[in-house]
Amino acid sequence: MNLMEMMLSGQNAGQMQQLAQRFGIGEEQAQAAVAQMVPALSQGLKRDMADPDSAASLMRALQQGGHQKYVDEPDALVREETVADGNAILGHLFGSKEVSRKVAEHASGGTGLDAGLLKQMLPVVASMMMGSLSKATAGGGAPGGQSGGMMDMLTGMLDADNDGSIVDDLMGMAGKFFR
C-alpha cells in the first residue's frame, strides 16, 4: 500500500472526519485536499530518505515521536499542538514556508478550496501523514534498534512506480514543488 492509499483508507476515516470538522468542509473535500497535498509531502519524505542522516532522523521520529496518536486518537487533530508538530514536520520536509505556500496553491487548483484554508490545513495533514507512517511502521524495526525492516517498508510506501527505488520518483516529481 502506498502512502496515498494508506492516508485515504477506511482505517483513517476518523482522521478525515476530524479534518473536515476542524476546517468546516465536507469529508469529500477533506479527502480531495489530502489527495492534493500528499504527493508534495511524499516528495519531502523521499528527499529525506535519500540522505542517510535525514533518514535516520525520520526513523527516530517515527519510532519515538508519538505520532500514532493522530491515527489512534483523531480528536488530537483539533489540538493546537498538532499544528505546531505539523509545522515542525513541514519545516523538516520542505525547508521553507514558500514551499508550503506553493503546495497550498497547487492543492487549491485541484480542489477549488481557498489556498489560505489549505495552508492552514497543511500542518494538520503533515501530522496525519506522520501518524499513518508511524502506525504502519510500528514494530517494523529489527531487534536491537536496527531499522532496515522499517526502511524497506517506507521505501515501498514511497516508491510510486514500484521499481524498488525512490530516487527516480524523487527526481521525476521534485521540480513540481521545489522550483
Domain boundaries of the chain, sorted by first residue: 3-177
Where residue 48 falls among pLDDT bands split at 50, 70, 90? confident
Where residue 156 falls among pLDDT bands split at 50, 70, 90? low
Using only C-alpha atoms, what is the Rg of the chain? Answer: 15
- Rounded to an integer, the average pLDDT of 51-55 is 86
Nearest 5°: CA angle at 160, between 55 and 135? 55
Q: Among 27-36, 77-86, 154-163, where is mean pLDDT lowest?
A: 154-163
Q: Among 9-13, 39-43, 74-78, 89-93, where is mean pLDDT lowest?
A: 9-13
- Residue 22 to residues 17, 31, 120, 130, 134: CA-CA distances in angstroms? 9, 13, 10, 19, 23
Cα distance between the two ends of the chain: 29
Does pLDDT of 174 surpass 90? no
**Full-model pTM:** 0.78
**In the numeric block, which cell numbers belong to residue 177?**
514543488
